[in-house]
Structure formats: C-alpha cells, structure tokens
Amino acid sequence: MKHKVIVTGGCGYIGSHTVVELIENNYEVVILDDLSNSSIETIGRIEKITGVKPIFINIDLKEEAKVNAVFKEHKDALAVINFAAYKAVGESVNKPIMYYKNNLYALLNTLSAQLENGINGFIFSSSATVYGTPNKLPITEKNETQRPFSPYGNTKKIAEEILDDFTKATENFTAISLRYFNPIGAHESGLIGELPSGIPNNLMPYITQTAVGIREKLMVYGNDYPTKDGTPIRDYIHVVDLAKAHVLAVERILNKKQEENFEIFNLGTGKGFSVLDVINSFEEVTNSKLNYEITERRPGDVPELYAATDLAKEKLGWSANKTLNEMISSSWEWEQKLRAKLQ
Ligand code: UFG
C-alpha cells in the first residue's frame, strides 16, 4: 500500500517539485492549495511528468473548520509537508498583518487538525533567513538565530518556535524543519518551475525575465559589500535537489529515525556565489549579454550566506549534486517555454 502524504502549497514552486519526487518514490499525494500564488495547471503538469494525478483540494488553510474536515477525510495520511505560505520579502514589510495571519494561521490550523486526526509527522518549509546576519560561516544549524529583517522571515522563525513548543508538548508528534538557502532552477521537463506573480523579488527570475525581454534591465543591489567582487554571496540550490531532501525527511519520520522530536537541517550546497558570479554564469550558459546596472543596496540584504551541509548529509543521507550551471540552464529553459506558451 502506498503511504499517503498531505502537501500544503503543493501547486507552488518548491511544493510542485516535491510532489513530483514523492510520486516518483511511490507516495500517494494530497495537495491542499488555495491557488493564491500558483496555478491549477500545475496538477496537469505533474501528471504529465509522473503519469499520476495527485488529489487536489482547493482550500484556504486559514479556515479552521474546513481544514479539520479535510484532514478527517485523509486521516490515513502519515505526514504533512507544509509549503503553504506567502513569501515576498518586500510585500511582507508593507503588509505584516497579512503575512502573520496567512503564514501562522495556516500553520496552527494544520497542526491542530493533525493532532485531532492523529497525523503525527510534519515537515516545515523554513529559510536561512532565520540566521539573520550570521557571525560565523559556513552556517551550521547551531548558529544562533536572529530576528529576521522582514515579517516574512519572522513568520519562519516564529513557526519554528511554535514547532519546538508543540513537539515538546505532544507525545509521538515529530517535526523536521528544512532551512532552505536560495532555491533556483526548474524541473528538467520544463513543465514546472518558478512563476513569480508581478515583478520578481529574487535574482534568478529577474535575470531570466530580463533576458527574455519582459524587464528592461536587472538592478544589481550594491557592489560595496565586503566580498570578493563587492556583491552579496548566496548559496544557490537546485529546486530538484531540494525536493529530494523532503522525500528523505518523510522517510526519516516514517522509519522513526529521528533522534529528537524536532530536528532542523540546512539545505544548501555549501558553496557561495556572488551576484556577479551568477550573472557571468548566466551569460556563459546562454551565450548572451545581460543588461544590468549597479545600483543602491537593498535594505535588509546580508553580505554573505552559505550553508554547512554536514548534518543533512549525515542524518538525512542528502547532499546537493546539481551545479550552478545546471540550475541556471534549467531556469532559462523554463522561462523560455513559459513565454513561448504565453504568446
Ligand atoms: N539581487 C539583485 N537584484 C535583484 C534581485 C536580487 O541584485 O533584482 C541580489 C540581492 O541583493 C541578493 C541576491 O541577489 O544579494 C539574492 O537575492 P534574492 O532576492 O534572490 O535572495 P535573498 O537571499 O535575498 O532571499 C532568499 C529568499 C528569501 C529568504 C532568504 C534567506 O528569497 O525567501 O533568501 O536568506 F528569506
């Protein structure tokens, strides 16, 4: 019999890639999504890639009674992976209540519906933003967390604190928080990828949209940071590598391999690349010139972030193996297919 996993936000960028990996590893998947920042078309695309259509339920996780009813219907699920959240850093600064409500009500309603229905495993989609400005590199899971710059980031930090309390108070309930560094790239099929609504906040979609002609030029936010070329350094990680880590986290929970009821793992490659490194690699991979300009720093940007990856390797048996060039070429392929389809 297939093990059932509920994936909230399963139509989104990282969610959809994870659903593909789960199906390919023989899990039955139930997607809960309100489609507020994703498209129903993703379901058909997942089916095209895997040959299996996941169960889809359109639901706003802020609606507690509805969440309870859905979890009751799927109480044979063994674990939940929680991707459902708003994620635009800048928007969260302007609309903090909307972010706290959406991200935290969804989490709380999910956890209480799990409790009610005896679904005891939980995987949380967290972020390296909880480390704030790190005083030590590479960042290990033992690095202290700081209050993130943005309300978005703070919802991740608060969520981890809730999970810490909840797992301590709830016998048999186990959770894993996965702290992503900078996810980019797309599935090799070119059928799923990142679909930012409006003007992208993040570097990679901004680059590909500029190259395809939707944006006039990329603004590089500052070249006066204390790094090798003055631009900030990040640990970019292929979304498919990231998705695979979620399957291993589910297995760790189902096989009762956890050493503590609440575990935290960094998901990164351990390698840092500057903004100019990414631009140069993009130009090399696509054999084209990117229109860009150096401008002011963006408030809240940290000079340098990259992960220590040992813990995920040792405990989850996971490490990233896709290169920056593979990340860039898959992002580029996705962008081109997307635009060809939209025209
Ligand atoms: N950048 C530009 N121009 C742009 C966009 C980004 O120069 O148009 C630069 C940023 O200044 C930064 C780098 O590219 O130096 C990466 O920026 P992203 O916005 O792609 O990523 P961040 O590292 O700022 O944020 C990411 C996730 C957040 C998460 C954070 C944790 O998007 O969700 O990592 O560190 F909170």
pLDDT in tens, 187-223: 999 999 998 888 999 999 999 999 999 999 999 999 9
The reply to whether 133 falls in a domain is: yes
Cα distance between residue 6 and residue 10, in whole Å: 9
Atom of ligand 1 nearest to the CA of 206: 8
Protein residues with CB under 6 Å of any ligand 1 atom = 87, 89, 127-129, 153, 182, 201-203, 206, 218-221, 232, 234, 275, 298, 301, 305
The reply to whether 194 falls in a domain is: no
C-alpha of residue 199 to centroid of ligand 1, in Å: 14
Smallest CA separation from ligand 1 atom 21, residue: 202
- At 285 the pLDDT is 96
The reply to whether 61 falls in a domain is: yes
Percent of the chain with pLDDT over 90: 96
Q: Is the pLDDT of residue 331 over 70?
A: yes
Question: How many domains does the chain divide into?
Answer: 1
Smallest CA-to-CA distance from 252 within 104, 137, 81 is with 81
Q: Is the bond leading into 138 cis (omega within 30 degrees of zero)?
A: yes
Contact 290, 210 (CB under 8 A): yes
pLDDT in tens, 281-299: 999 999 999 999 999 999 9
The reply to whether 321 falls in a domain is: no
Is the torsion defined by CA of 248, 185, 160, 98 positive or negative? negative
C-alpha of residue 168 to centroid of ligand 1, in Å: 34
Smallest CA separation from ligand 1 atom 6, residue: 203
Smallest CA separation from ligand 1 atom 15, residue: 232
CB neighbours of 235 closer than 8 A, spacing ≥ 6? 128, 181, 182, 268, 269, 270, 271, 272, 273, 305, 306, 307
pLDDT in tens, 53-67: 999 999 999 999 999
Contact 18, 246 (CB under 8 A): yes
The reply to whether 113 falls in a domain is: yes
**Residue indicated by tokens 């996941």:** 54
Strands (E), 226-320: 233-234, 236-238, 262-267, 273-274, 292-295
Q: Is the pLDDT of residue 138 over 60?
A: yes
- At 342 the pLDDT is 66
The reply to whether 307 falls in a domain is: no
C-alpha dist (Å) from residue 158 to 114, 173, 175, 188, 306: 19, 18, 15, 34, 22
Is the torsion defined by CA of 170, 172, 173, 176 positive or negative? positive
C-alpha of residue 234 to centroid of ligand 1, in Å: 8
Smallest CA-to-CA distance from 57 within 28, 35, 37 is with 35
The reply to whether 118 falls in a domain is: yes
Contact 235, 272 (CB under 8 A): yes
CATH at 265: 3.40.50.720
pLDDT in tens, 217-274: 999 999 999 999 999 999 999 999 999 999 999 999 999 999 999 999 999 999 999 9
- At 1 the pLDDT is 84
Cα distance between residue 326 and residue 165, in whole Å: 39
Q: Which of the residues are catalytic?
A: 152
Please compute, for residue 283, the number of CA atoms within 13 A of its CA located in the half-sphere on the CB side: 9
Cα distance between residue 267 and residue 247, in whole Å: 13
The reply to whether 298 falls in a domain is: no
Domain that holds residue 178: 4-185+237-269
C-alpha dist (Å) from residue 88 to 39, 94, 125, 139, 199: 17, 10, 15, 23, 11
Smallest CA separation from ligand 1 atom 4, residue: 203
Q: Is the pLDDT of residue 302 over 80?
A: yes
User: What rounded mean pLDDT belongs to the chain?
Assistant: 97
Q: Is the pLDDT of residue 343 over 80?
A: no
- At 117 the pLDDT is 98
Strands 262-267 and 174-180: parallel
Whether this prediction's pTM lies above 0.95 is answered by yes
C-alpha of residue 203 to centroid of ligand 1, in Å: 6
